[in-house]
A = this chain, B = another copy of it.
């Protein structure tokens, strides 16, 4: 699988569970079984390993979400599927995403608050990407671009809110409640 990927996998797992500044390089090395010099052959600093971990999480998460949504008819059903997907995630039924500790990108922005920092920017880019995915499906059931944008935005906020509620308050049904609200918004009759 390659040492580089071993490092990214281990770093991501530890960063996600404990936060980035709480995890030292030495711990990543020990748990991945990789030598220190090898790390610095692949990455020029801890920060660049962090960037790689964020990028990897982006890929993992987006591909997972997109494929779940694509398994349903485009539009309303795919959008509703998103809430079922994150419900699985909250309840640790998605091994790919590890145990649920909230959103890695939100958590990471809490540690890199400067919006100009490359790590923060990558997190923002992830969220924007997810938003565009929602918008694409919203366009299937809306009569105008503006309306689609507003719908996608509403669903996006509900989803983010559910992630926060699930993590901070431990509400494992947060996704289902958000889905019920979303459902009323899409077919309000």
Kindly specify which of A13-21, A41-49, A51-59, A73-81 makes contact with the partner chain. A13-21
* A113 close to B124 (CB less than 8 A): no
The one of B17, B170, B185, B188 in contact with A124, judged by C-beta atoms closer than 8 angstroms, is: B170
Q: Is A168 an interface residue (CB 8 A)?
A: yes
The answer for the CA separation of A157 and B155 in the assembled complex, in Å, is 10
> Dominant SS at the A interface?
helix
Q: Is A4 an interface residue (CB 8 A)?
A: no
The one of B21, B165, B167 in contact with A157, judged by C-beta atoms closer than 8 angstroms, is: B165
The one of B21, B102, B105 in contact with A109, judged by C-beta atoms closer than 8 angstroms, is: B102
The answer for the CA separation of A161 and B103 in the assembled complex, in Å, is 12
The one of B108, B113, B165 in contact with A156, judged by C-beta atoms closer than 8 angstroms, is: B165
Q: Is A142 an interface residue (CB 8 A)?
A: no
The answer for the CA separation of A91 and B168 in the assembled complex, in Å, is 24
* B111 close to A102 (CB less than 8 A): no
